[in-house]
Amino acid sequence: MDTPDLYRPLTPQSLGDRLAGVAAVTGRIGGNPADWTVREVGDGNLNLVFIVEGPKGTVIVKQALPYVRLVGDSWPLPLYRAFFENHALVRQAARDPGAVPEVFHFDELQALIVMEFLSPHRILRRKLIDGERVEGLGTVLGNFCARTAFRGSELSMKSADKKKDVGLFSGNVEIPAITEALVFTDPYYAAEMNHHTEGLAPVVATLRENTELKARAQRLLMKFASNTETMVHGDLHSGSIMSTAVDTRIIDPEFVQYGPFGFDIGMLTANFLMAFFSQPAHRNAGELAGYQDWILQVIGETFTAFDAEFGRLWKTERTGMLYPAALFEDQGQTSDDACAGLLADIRRDAMGFCGIEMHRRTLSLAHNADFEDIGDKTLKARLEARNLMMGAELVLKPDSALSTETLLELARQFNVKDIL
């Protein structure tokens, strides 16, 4: 992996010079760079992020760093991920208009994207920790997953176009490698960068003793790594979503790749379930049950929207080579069962990916604030144990959670289990 000589990580001081000549950007911000207010706000694991404010407007400037910010320059990471993120944002905007920030400018050499500033949006994970509700959340997310899945696949696209795109994205090796290791493998052995809450050791041991669980996790890894069903966001957790009380947008697709239909919605569900299981540490007794119910309701709405939108696109936009009308409608037959069968397969995969995400976020490198912000470590371990054991159930028996009802019931059961 080479970092080009002319690449320079931005600072608030250098940013003005870098963007001064880009009309698409200066036109949005207004005035001269000297009039701009620049704040570095990147709190993620991988990038520099600046908010640039001027007399006319505000934009976000996101620049990739040539290493994993969370770990430091000992873990190099290719800048080309900005290239793929830009491609992802453009495709997602076409497939689900309005769902992702608008891109104003992309500089491949500097691995830099200038895009729409979302305000007053906040990262959804923080809102879930703070007990805030977002109207229409599940519907927006279910629609996004369905539209990007369907419209990025050979259900909709011409095969030649889709396969050309698979070729383009196949140049992206190091980024998928992070997911492959951190998500699917590291949780299940003593990987170097793992860490977990004290007290969880017996649960971790239970998981690692279970060879069937690990075999299923690896089977899911094979599905993730050797599958080009559609272009997936690749990292669709509540930290990749920004919301107001009534509006929801999806950001940060730098882990974009071709992968299974069920990947994004599976990861997303896991992050809602982790929000759900962590709530007893964040809510008082009066609010707890109501807010946990709301989170489950969002999960339900997400799947309802996903299935409905996928089914609508199946009827109206099935123009690719898969399940052609020639085999069904043109012969006077319905393809409803075929669609339902595919949706069941997608749900089965999603439940598996969901379970694994629930494991890696508490055992592997990149934990999430839902649990990490809990000060009482005994309580934290107890809540994480519920999350881990439900995750195992989903990986081992995805069929037992194939309907939304059975999935949510399982969550309610684990929510009152005393595992530790």
CA distance 30 to 18: 15
Under rule CB under 8 A, which residues in 392-411 are in contact with a copy of itself?
none
Which lies closer to a copy of itself via its Cβ, residue 258 or residue 371? 258
Site string for a copy of itself, 157-186 (x = CB under 8 A): --xx--xx-xx--xx-x--xx--xx---x-
The yes or no reply on residue 344 touching a copy of itself (CB under 8 A) is no
Residue 3 Cβ, how far from a copy of itself at the closest point, in Å? 18
Q: How far is the CB of 333 from a copy of itself (least distance, A)?
A: 5
Copy the structure tokens of residue 70.
């969370």
Q: Is 323 a residue that touches a copy of itself (CB under 8 A)?
A: yes
Binding mask 120-159 for a copy of itself (x = CB under 8 A): ---------------------------------xx----x
Question: Which segment (76-84, 188-196, 359-367, 368-376) binds a copy of itself by CB under 8 A?
Answer: 188-196
What DSSP assignment string belongs to 95-145?
HSTTSSPPEEEEETTTTEEEEEPP-S-EEHHHHHHTT---TTHHHHHHHHH
Check residue 234 and report its DSSP letter. S
In whole angstroms, how close is the CB of 151 to a copy of itself at the nearest point?
A: 15
User: Can you tell me the distance from the alpha carbon of 250 to that of 242, in angstroms, rounded to the nearest whole number?
Assistant: 6
Based on the shown chain and the rule CB under 8 A, indicate whether residue 84 belongs to the binding site for a copy of itself: no
The closest alpha carbon to 94, from 231, 239, 245, belongs to 231
Among 35, 73, 287, 345, binds a copy of itself (CB under 8 A): 345
| 212 near a copy of itself, rule: CB under 8 A | yes
Closest distance between a copy of itself and the C-beta of residue 175, in Å? 11
C-alpha 355, offset from chain centre: 14
114 and 22 in contact (C-beta within 8 Å)?
A: yes
The residue with tokens 């946990």 is: 292
For residue 354, CA distances in Å to 179, 273, 326, 407 come to: 14, 9, 35, 11
Task: List, in order, residues 6 or more apart from 38 with CB less than 8 Å away.
Answer: 12, 15, 16, 50, 51, 52, 53
Q: Does 226 bind a copy of itself (CB under 8 A)?
A: yes
Contact between 285 and a copy of itself (CB under 8 A)? no
Give Cα separations from 377 to 204, 373, 381 (angstroms): 16, 10, 6
State the minimum distance, in angstroms, from the CB of residue 222 to a copy of itself.
Answer: 6
d(CA 93, CA 90): 5
- Residue 7 makes contact with a copy of itself by CB under 8 A: no
Q: Which residues bind a copy of itself (CB under 8 A)?
A: 153-154, 159-160, 163-164, 166-167, 170-171, 173, 176-177, 180-181, 185, 188-189, 191, 208-209, 211-212, 214-215, 218-219, 221-222, 225-229, 258, 321-324, 326-328, 330-331, 333-335, 337-338, 341-342, 345
